[in-house]
Structure formats: structure tokens, C-alpha cells
């Protein structure tokens, strides 16, 4: 039976029945009640009325294409059904394990025989029709014809677009701007970007491209242009706002080998969910992870507990809902660990295994370094590093410097591979050959010491959860052997100091020994074959550049190697602090710190900024600060956005390049997310691009833009003779297909696929627009390729990735103590970070506790995703907006009572960083922790159709033509801007030029520390 734990007062305790009732009431309150318009009613009654008679995929007059969805980042397969060259509907791909509960149909099944089979996709995917045909899509290139951000553009020709961006010049003199705008050409120099600091690299780094929604395929294509052809190090992804916090926990756990691990939804018997919205979002998505858990829950095969300040929809099935204080997941996890150690509930037999072979012998696929010794003597030069054989010897060999040490049963040090097991929980002294003794401790002992720094009662206070609940969850979690694991996502660590919280959460699975086990904590199984090698060498080309220097986000950069550090040190100081934080211990696209680096021109300035499907003003907590950055022509001399519409950020761009949607392009090869599975899906467009075309008949899109820029600038890697074949022939790269289809051929060849049957080949040639490129390949290669294309990829099922109980594609080792982390210093203080767990609260860059600083703002804002939306662009999803026309500010019943608020009332939320605040409608609910307000993303747009934009020649620029334009430009639809965007009150850091708050260790943007006052609003 579901147990809802006590919160602050007995009055808050609700039982399962009340809870479900509360959820239903809340769903109604937050807009689940459908629109009352007659049109909407008609659509609900007869869905076909919306788009006409829905095509059946077995009808003769339809085309069917198997592909990969990009309604969100979950990478499900899809089946695109097209009639009269118009997309009519989307369903799932039965070959793809994400659409078939991990058990796809046999891969060799003839394609035509599968067309009648049902296969699910989620609501977001069904809304693809409204997305691709959105009338406010731009289909022609735009150039700014007013001040940045003023919302004035004009259509320009493709040739003008390419020429001006390539060459720069007095591009806006007609607007009274006298400056010379730098073109991309000005970045093609190997001269140092800062002659005083060679470590920063060349002037090529003054070109930066920040990418929003991006997947493999386009990612590699963009890298080819930015890194290998231009030679800039600044292709910056957006992993930080996507969910860097939980990834950093896994990054620390796996020594950087993997960032995504999750509980196995098909095999686990108990899943502890931290900040992962398993029935509404996540990757794998709703069709996959949530469906597997719900199905197995219904059969009584799995239990799960949700640790989250908000009870997501899955909470109706959860064993417990644990409404932790935002940003305190680590305290809850460390409280559990303390209880597990004190009550002998850790899997000590597993943790005592000292090396991989020993672990394998006992039926595990991965070992931990729990027994490995760390030098624990503050005066020792190797303090904080692992004890290696060399540390005890006077004349060590090179090999001795690599071998870790453990303690045998008599507490004598010996190489870690000497025995199968070693002492687990021990602090000791060891003597080196020179007679010096010093203290050492096992990784486990150091972790335990850190955990025992606080009592269970203190952890209870920190996380706001009663001790009894921490114990109950710990007891539950440790009652399923290796069939228990955590599933953590965005909420578990996306705040400052989130690395340590997520590290503690990740370690729970290791402490029960479920890492790499069926039903346990698993990575993804990876790709079936490589895209870059095979018949075609897509990785190398004559003249390929190798980027040098430091990213403008400072990701991976070492501050101690900079001229800034040396200069500060030479003036008698320690060299610290750096001007902004450096992040030598992190992995992911740090888009927020890239934007802040651009704003502060630190460590160098950006001349040319390309943004791709990236909307930082809307999507970043505190992103409103970047309006100032993007408006500033000194800080961003040239800004080019590549996108399908005009959003809150590219409103400030100098040029907007029209792009295609994933139904018309976005070729790519998509490997599984964690957990488990091994496959390669391929994205295959079903429509010819709806954008305009170049004089040589190429569609306006990202690839055409980059190719034509490369040709204009004579960059290597593009044009004729750009791709080497295995037969010494050279092939062109003049179109998107020149690149992607050769990558697909490599994958098919690498996977050793058979040649497609005549029927499957005919299926591709009849249905797939890309078949027009068939002459690129020999008959033999084309038919091999068709075997994959016809099925939308290469797939196997869940059952193929295990050998008995162990995962075949996992990692070898995880750590309780991370040496690299222990050796990393904060570039702001010079202090070392802890190599093992640590309880830390969210802090700003000065190290001050944010909650204490903002205590006059009593409520903490948390955010979440709804099942019908992705982050920002699904305001163009017609059904989603019809079902949920606006979002609400969720306030707990008890808080609402104290404030005298009722559902539907309008309130203003003010934060310390945005005193003017934002407004929205309240939904009073029991599904959120008292003291918190919950706001979904997706709403509160000011652009993407919500407001008019002046566009000269608009009728030719927007897909809807005259229907969405008046004499001044494109019209606005206020309904597209309904609701509230929580990022507009995001906390800024006054210590860092008032830029958005980020974690100083890893660059994690903070989604959980903004505090607000709630006031009634007129």
C-alpha cells in the first residue's frame, strides 16, 4: 500500500485515497479540463476531424517511413505515415525496443508484414503534425533591420546571407551602425587569441557555436565544421541545462567513463527514484521506462519510491512519496548510507572484492575501489591520493606507480590484485622502505568518515524528512539484494554542489552491489557499429584542424596553467581567485558558463556566435540576464541563429537561418540511453524540406548553411573530394545526404548486415525520399543499407545484453573515492574538493548558503516537465496546448490557507534577482511539499508566435504565408504565450556579474535554489 509520509504537521498526513483524489483535483485545477470550444469538442469526439481522414499505413496511397522521433530527447523509434506528401500521423516502430517494452519483433521480420502491427508513441510524438506544419515556422533567411531585440527583420537572399556572414563588413550601416562587423573569415587565424596567454589557443576560438537540442548525426556534422574545419574549440552543448547535476554524480562514480546510469526498469524489484519524472518525461521516455515500470508494477513485480518535493503522476503507484527539501537529496541519501553502515545493510561481500577478476568470479561485472587505500596523512606529499606500490618503495619502477594497494586480513599492505578480497573498513599506518610511517585509510573508511560527520537526526533536519522515513527507505532499498537501484535525473543534482548530492545517490546502488547487474544500476549498451569508419572515412580529411586552447566556458581548462594565475601569483598572492570559475572536473556542454564567458569576455572575447536550436533567454534559470549580453554589440559582434522560428533569444540575432524539423531532416544515429539495451536507430526524413531552396536547389537548413559557408571560405572538409573512400576514391560533401548516408553505410557495413530482400529494398525505394540518392552506392551496398533503413535502425532486445545476471556492456570499476576529484582545486579559493561524499548545501560563488541569504523569500521554486511537452518549443504542439492551455503555480494547501489563496487566483512571485517578478495563476494542491511552489516549463513565452514581429516580406517568410501575417509582419497569438515561465525569476549570482547561478565545481546551473515571495496580484 502506498504510504504518504508525514510532513510538518499531522494535518498534512494524507492517505492514498486522499492523495489520488488530491491529484485528480489538481489535474483539473491545472488545466486538465479540456477546452470548451466547439471545435475542440469536435476534435475529441472525432479525432480525424482535425486533420481529415487518418491514413492507414497499409493503404496503397500512403508512404511509411521508419525513423527516430525527436519530439523529445528520448530516442524512441517512430513510424511516419505520409499521404499526398503530407505527414498524417505518427506511431511507433515495432522493431525498436523503446516502442515495444524492450522486446521488439525479430529484426529479420519482412517489413511489409509488420505494417499492421500497433506500436506506441507518446502524446508529444503525435503532435508532430502540428509542429512540422506550424504556420509560424520561418522558411527564408532573415536579417535584422532594427535594433537588436527590437523585433524587426527582413528577408534576404541565401547568397547575401552566406556572403555577409562569411566576410563581415559594414553590414548594418543602413541602420546607422558604423562598426565593421567581423565575419567568420576574421576567425580563420592561427595567431594567438591573447598574445599574453598561449594556453587560450588561437583566434579561431573567437568563433563559438552553442547548440540546443542536438543528437548524434548533426552533432558530428557541426563538429566537423566548427572543430575540424574552422579549428575552434568552442562547439558548446547544453548538457548543463538538460541535467548536468545527476550526470556529475555518475561522472564521479565512474571516474568519467559514463555519465548516465539508471535502475533497470525491466529487471529491478525496487527502484528508488530521485528527481526523475518517470511517467511523464525521462529518457528513455514515457513509452519505455515509465511503461515498463507501470506494467511491472501492475503485475506486482516492482516497487518504487519517489524522492521529490513534488508528487509526480507516478506517485499514485509509488510505495512512498518522500517530499525532500529542494537541493537536499544528498542529505537524504547520506542519511540512508549512515543507517545502512550502522545496521550492516551494505553488501560487504561485494564491496570487499578488490579487483575485477575477483568480482567476475563472484558473478559481478564491475568492482569498486572500496578497499583501495588512500594516503590519509596531511603532511605526506601524496595526501589524498591512492597509495600505490611506489609509495612504499625507495626505488620504484614505472609500473609500481600504477598499482593500487589494499590491506590483507592482517592489515598488511599488498597490491590490490594479490588477493580476491581485502579489508573494507579500516584506517591504518603503513611503513615505507625508508622507515617512514604514515596513515592510510580505505576508500570505504573515508566515505564512512564523511557520512558519519552528521547524525541521522541532522540528516533528517537537512532534508526535511523524518528519521523514521529515512530508515524505512533504507530498509526497503536493502531488502532486494542486487535487484534494487536508484533512478536519478534532473532534480537529483541540478543545483550548486549537486555533484556531491548525485554522487551520494549513485553510490547507493554500489553499496548494495547492483552496479552492472540485471535489475540493477546500468549504463546504456552503446552503438551497434561505428558511423565514422568503414567504407568511408568520415573522421579524417586533408587539412583537418585540431582545436587548441580553452573553451570560453572553461570546461576542462586548468586555471593554474593560465597567465592570469601566474600574474596573480607573481604579485605575491596565491594566484586565486580566478575572475570566473574554471571547471577542470566536469563533462558536458556548459552553455550557461559559455554565455556568461561571452558576457564577461572571459577568458577571451567572442567575435562570431552561432546558436542552433538554442533559446537561453527562455530555457536557462535566470536566462533573462542574457538579453543584456545578446543586445551588446561589443560582446557579441555577430550573432547568427539557426532555428525554425523566432524565439526569445534569436529575437536579438543579426541573422536567422531557417532550418528543417526532424520530419524533413535531422539525419542521425541514435544509441540507447542508460539503462541496458544495445542498438543504433537511424533518423530518416519522410518529407521533402518545407523551407526555401538555394539557387542550386538545396534546401535551406543547417547543413546547407554550413556547407555553403565552408565553400565560400574554402574551408577543408567540404565540397568535392572531401570524403575518402576505402578504395582510395574521394567523394563529395555538398549536401547533407553526402555525409549522413555514407555514415549510415558505414554502420550497416560495420554491423555486417545482410543485403535487404527485394521486397524490403522496394519498400525503401517506394517510401523514403532519401532513395533519390540511391546512385551514391553500389547495388550491394545499397541493399545492405536498405536492410537497416527499412527498419529504422539495427536493434536487439533486452534479453541479449546479459550473460546470466551480469550486463555485458557495462563498466569495469566504480569508486567510492575519486582521486581526480580530490586533486581538483576550486579556481576561486584554491582549496581542494573532497574526493568522496560530502554534505553541502546549495551555495553561491562566494560560498554563502543561498537559502540563508534569501530567507526573506520564504518559498523555493521547483520546476518540472509535463508529459505532453518538452522544454521550450512545444508551445507549437497543438493538442498539448489545447489540453493544457496554460500552466499554474502549484502551492501546498497549508501554504495557500496561510496566504488566503485559492486555485485560479492570480499571484506575483518576486525573487531577490527579479524583484519585479512574474505572475501566474495558483493551483492549490497537496502534491507539493509545503514551502515549495512548483511550476512546469513550456509556458509563458513572449515569442514563438506569442507576439507580433515586424518582418519585411513576411508573407514569403512564414510557412503560413498570408494566414499569419498582416502588413507589418507576423501576427501574435496571445494563447501561445499563456502561463508562466519560472526561469524568469531564476537566481543570479551577484558575485559573478549577476549572471545565472552555477556550481563552481562542475558548472551545474541551479534549478532548485530560487526563493520567492508570493503576493496576490490584481
The contact set with ligand SF4 (CB under 6 A) reads 69, 71-72, 74-76, 121-122, 124-125, 285-287
CB within 8 Å of 161: residues ≥ 6 apart? 141, 143, 655, 657, 705
Q: Which is nearer to ligand SF4, 122 or 896 (by Cβ)?
A: 122
CB of 125 to ligand SF4, least distance (A): 4
Please, how many CA atoms are within 13 Å of residue 589, restricted to the half-sphere of its CB?
21
Name the grid cell of 135. Answer: 504556420
CB of 533 to ligand SF4, least distance (A): 28
Q: Which is nearer to ligand SF4, 286 or 722 (by Cβ)?
A: 286
CB of 798 to ligand SF4, least distance (A): 17
CB of 78 to ligand SF4, least distance (A): 6
CB of 280 to ligand SF4, least distance (A): 10
Q: Does residue 289 contact residue 911 with C-beta atoms inside 8 Å?
A: no
Q: Does residue 927 contact residue 893 with C-beta atoms inside 8 Å?
A: no
Q: Which is nearer to ligand SF4, 73 or 818 (by Cβ)?
A: 73
CB of 672 to ligand SF4, least distance (A): 12
Lookup result for grid cell 541540478? 494
CB of 505 to ligand SF4, least distance (A): 24
CB of 675 to ligand SF4, least distance (A): 16
Task: Assign 789 to helix, strand or coil.
Answer: helix
Name the grid cell of 316. Answer: 499514485
Name the grid cell of 144. Answer: 535584422
Q: Which is nearer to ligand SF4, 279 or 652 (by Cβ)?
A: 279
Name the grid cell of 41. Answer: 469538442
Q: Which is nearer to ligand SF4, 74 or 187 (by Cβ)?
A: 74
Task: Assign 155 to helix, strand or coil.
Answer: strand
CB of 122 to ligand SF4, least distance (A): 3
CB of 287 to ligand SF4, least distance (A): 5
Q: How many helices (H) and strands (E) does the chain have?
A: 29, 45
Q: Which is nearer to ligand SF4, 124 or 783 (by Cβ)?
A: 124
Lookup result for grid cell 516497487? 303
Q: Which is nearer to ligand SF4, 323 or 665 (by Cβ)?
A: 665
Q: Which is nearer to ligand SF4, 124 or 448 (by Cβ)?
A: 124
Task: Assign 441 to helix, strand or coil.
Answer: strand
Q: Which is nearer to ligand SF4, 450 or 487 (by Cβ)?
A: 487
CB of 877 to ligand SF4, least distance (A): 10
Rounded distance between C-alpha atoms, residue 747 and residue 387, angstroms? 44
Q: Which is nearer to ligand SF4, 287 or 680 (by Cβ)?
A: 287
For residue 835, the Cα-to-chain-centroid distance in whole angstroms is: 25
Of the candidates 522, 494, 463, 479, the one whose C-alpha atom is nearest the C-alpha of residue 334 is 463
Rounded distance between C-alpha atoms, residue 693 and residue 700, angstroms? 5
Q: Which is nearer to ligand SF4, 77 or 237 (by Cβ)?
A: 77
CB of 284 to ligand SF4, least distance (A): 8
Cα Rg for the chain, rounded, in angstroms?
28
Q: Which residues of 699-719 are buried (b: 16+ CB within 10 A; e: fewer)?
A: bbbbbbbbbbbbbbbebbbbe
Name the grid cell of 26. Answer: 489538481
Q: Which is nearer to ligand SF4, 26 or 277 (by Cβ)?
A: 277
Sequence-distant contacts of 777-781: CB under 8 A, at least 24 apart: 777/741, 777/745, 780/755, 781/535, 781/745, 781/748, 781/749
Q: What is the DSSP string of 764-784?
A: HHHH-GGGGGGGGS-HHHHHH
The distance in angstroms from the start CA to the end CA of the chain is 43
Q: Does residue 98 contact residue 713 with C-beta atoms inside 8 Å?
A: no
Amino acid at each position: 500500500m502506498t504510504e504518504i509520509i508525514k510532513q510538518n504537521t499531522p494535518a498534512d498526513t494524507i492517505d492514498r485515497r486522499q492523495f489520488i483524489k488530491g491529484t485528480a483535483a489538481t489535474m483539473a485545477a491545472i488545466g486538465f479540463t479540456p477546452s470548451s470550444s466547439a471545435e475542440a469538442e469536435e476534435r475529441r469526439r472525432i479525432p480525424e476531424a482535425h486533420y481529415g481522414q487518418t491514413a492507414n499505413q497499409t493503404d496503397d496511397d500512403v508512404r511509411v517511413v521508419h525513423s527516430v522521433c525527436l519530439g523529445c530527447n528520448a530516442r524512441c523509434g517512430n513510424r511516419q505515415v505520409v499521404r499526398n506528401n503530407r505527414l498524417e500521423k505518427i506511431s511507433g516502430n515495432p522493431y525498436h525496443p523503446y516502442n515495444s517494452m524492450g522486446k521488439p519483433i525479430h529484426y529479420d521480420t519482412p517489413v511489409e508484414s509488420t505494417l499492421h502491427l500497433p506500436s506506441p508513441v507518446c502524446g508529444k510524438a503525435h503532435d508532430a503534425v502540428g509542429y512540422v506544419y506550424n504556420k509560424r515556422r520561418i522558411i527564408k533567411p532573415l536579417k535584422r533591420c532594427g535594433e537588436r531585440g527590437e523585433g524587426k527583420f527582413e528577408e534576404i537572399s541565401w547568397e547575401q546571407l552566406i556572403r555577409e556572414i562569411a566576410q563581415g563588413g559594414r553590414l548594418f550601416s543602413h541602420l546607422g551602425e558604423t562598426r565593421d562587423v567581423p565575419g567568420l573569415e576574421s576567425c580563420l587565424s592561427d595567431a594567438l587569441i591573447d598574445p599574453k596567454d598561449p594556453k587560450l589557443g588561437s583566434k579561431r576560438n573567437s568563433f563559438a557555436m552553442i547548440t540546443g537540442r542536438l543528437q548524434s548525426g548533426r552533432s558530428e556534422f557541426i563538429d566537423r565544421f566548427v572543430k575540424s574545419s574552422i579549428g575552434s574549440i568552442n562547439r558548446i552543448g547544453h548538457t548543463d541545462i538538460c541535467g548536468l547535476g545527476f550526470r556529475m554524480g555518475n561522472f564521479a562514480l565512474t571516474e568519467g567513463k559514463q555519465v548516465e546510469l539508471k535502475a533497470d526498469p525491466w529487471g529491478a524489484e525496487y527502484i528508488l527514484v530521485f528527481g526523475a519524472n518517470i511517467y511523464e518525461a525521462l529518457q528513455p521516455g514515457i513509452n519505455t521506462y515509465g511503461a515498463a515500470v507501470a506494467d511491472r508494477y501492475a503485475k506486482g513485480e516492482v516497487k518504487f519510491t519517489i524522492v521529490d518535493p513534488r508528487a509526480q503522476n507516478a506517485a499514485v503507484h509509488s510505495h512512498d512519496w518522500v517530499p525532500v527539501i529542494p537541493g537536499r537529496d544528498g542529505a537524504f541519501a547520506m542519511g540512508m548510507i549512515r543507517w545502512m553502515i550502522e545496521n550492516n545493510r551494505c553488501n560487504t561481500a561485494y564491496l570487499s572484492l578488490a579487483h575485477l577478476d575477483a568480482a567476475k568470479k563472484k558473478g559481478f561485472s564491475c568492482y569498486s575501489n572500496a578497499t583501495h587505500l588512500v594516503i590519509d596523512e596531511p603532511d605526506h606529499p601524496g595526501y589524498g591520493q591512492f597509495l600505490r606500490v611506489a609509495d612504499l618503495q625507495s626505488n620504484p619502477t614505472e609500473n609500481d606507480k600504477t598499482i593500487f594497494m589494499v590491506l590483507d586480513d592482517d592489515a598488511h599492505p599488498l597490491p590490490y590484485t594479490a588477493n580476491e578480497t581485502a579489508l573494507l573498513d579500516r584506517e591504518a599506518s603503513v611503513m615505507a622502505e625508508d622507515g617512514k610511517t604514515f596513515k592510510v585509510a580505505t576508500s570505504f573508511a573515508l566515505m564512512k568518515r564523511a557520512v558519519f560527520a552528521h547524525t541521522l537526526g541532522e540528516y533528517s533536519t537537512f532534508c526535511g524528512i523524518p528519521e523514521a522515513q529515512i530508515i524505512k527507505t533504507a530498509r526497503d532499498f536493502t531488502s532486494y539484494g542486487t535487484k534494487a537501484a536508484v533512478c536519478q535525473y534532473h532534480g537529483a543534482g541540478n543545483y550548486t554542489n549537486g555533484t556531491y548530492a548525485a554522487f551520494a545517490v549513485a553510490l547507493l546502488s554500489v553499496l548494495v552491489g547492483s552496479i552492472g547487474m540485471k535489475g540493477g544500476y546500468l549504463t546504456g549498451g552503446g552503438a551497434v557499429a561505428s558511423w565514422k569508419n568503414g567504407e568511408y572515412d568520415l573522421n579524417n580529411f586533408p587539412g583537418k584542424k585540431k582545436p587548441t586552447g580553452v573553451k570560453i566556458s572553461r570546461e576542462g581548462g586548468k586555471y593554474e596553467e593560465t597567465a592570469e594565475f601566474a600574474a596573480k601569483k607573481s604579485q605575491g598572492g596565491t594566484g586565486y581567485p580566478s575572475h570566473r570559475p574554471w571547471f577542470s572536473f566536469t563533462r558536458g556542454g556548459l552553455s550557461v558558463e559559455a554565455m556568461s564567458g561571452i558576457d564577461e569576455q572571459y577568458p577571451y572575447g567572442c567575435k562570431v556566435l552561432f546558436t542552433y536550436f538554442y533559446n537561453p533567454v527562455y530555457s536557462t534559470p535566470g536566462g533573462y540576464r542574457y538579453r543584456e549580453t545578446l543586445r551588446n554589440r561589443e560582446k557579441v559582434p555577430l550573432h547568427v541563429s539557426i532555428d525554425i522560428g523566432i524565439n526569445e533569444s534569436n529575437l536579438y540575432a543579426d541573422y536567422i537561418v531557417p532550418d528543417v524539423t526532424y520530419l524533413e531532416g535531422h539525419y542521425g544515429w541514435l544509441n540507447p540511453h542508460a539503462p541496458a539495451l544495445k542498438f543504433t536507430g537511424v533518423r530518416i526524413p519522410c518529407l521533402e524540406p518545407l523551407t526555401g531552396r538555394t539557387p542550386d536547389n538545396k534546401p535551406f537548413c543547417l547543413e546547407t548553411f554550413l556547407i555553403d559557408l565552408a565553400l565560400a571560405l574554402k574551408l577543408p572538409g567540404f565540397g568535392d573530394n572531401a570524403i575518402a573512400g576505402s578504395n582510395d576514391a574521394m567523394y563529395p560533401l555538398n549536401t547533407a545526404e553526402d555525409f549522413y548516408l555514407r555514415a549510415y553505410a558505414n554502420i550497416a557495413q560495420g554491423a555486417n548486415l545482410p543485403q535487404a530482400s527485394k521486397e524490403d529494398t522496394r519498400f525503401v525505394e517506394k517510401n523514403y525520399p532519401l532513395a533519390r540518392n540511391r546512385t551514391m552506392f553500389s547495388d550491394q551496398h545499397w541493399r545492405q543499407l536498405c536492410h537497416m533503413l527499412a527498419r529504422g535502425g539495427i536493434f536487439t532486445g533486452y534479453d541479449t545484453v546479459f550473460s546470466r545476471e551480469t550486463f555485458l556492456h557495462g563498466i569495469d570499476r566504480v569508486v567510492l573515492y575519486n582521486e581526480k576529484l580530490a586533486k581538483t582545486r576550486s579556481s576561486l579559493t584554491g582549496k581542494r574538493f573532497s574526493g568522496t561524499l560530502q554534505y553541502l548545501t546549495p551555495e553561491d560563488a562566494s560560498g554563502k548558503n543561498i537559502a540563508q541569504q534569501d530567507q526573506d523569500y520564504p518559498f523555493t521554486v521547483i520546476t518540472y516537465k509535463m508529459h505532453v511537452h518538452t522544454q521550450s518549443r512545444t508551445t507549437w504542439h497543438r493538442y498539448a496546448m489545447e489540453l493544457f492551455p496554460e500552466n499554474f503555480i502549484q502551492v501546498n494547501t497549508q501554504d495557500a490557507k496561510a496566504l488566503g489563496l485559492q486555485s485560479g487566483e492570480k499571484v506575483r512571485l518576486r525573487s531577490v534577482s527579479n524583484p519585479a517578478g512574474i505572475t501566474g495563476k495558483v493551483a492549490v494542491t497537496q502534491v507539493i511539499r509545503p514551502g515549495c511552489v512548483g511550476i512546469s516549463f513550456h509556458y509563458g513565452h513572449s515569442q514563438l508566435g506569442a507576439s507580433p514581429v515586424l518582418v519585411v516580406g513576411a508573407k514569403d517568410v512564414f510557412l503560413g504565408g498570408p494566414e499569419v501575417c498582416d502588413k507589418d509582419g507576423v501576427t501574435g497569438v496571445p494563447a501561445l504565450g499563456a502561463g508562466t515561465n519560472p526561469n524568469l525569476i531564476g537566481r543570479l549570482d551577484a558575485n559573478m556579474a549577476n549572471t545565472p547561478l552555477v556550481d563552481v565545481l562542475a558548472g551545474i546551473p541551479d534549478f532548485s535554489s530560487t526563493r520567492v515571495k508570493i503576493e496576490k496580484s490584481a
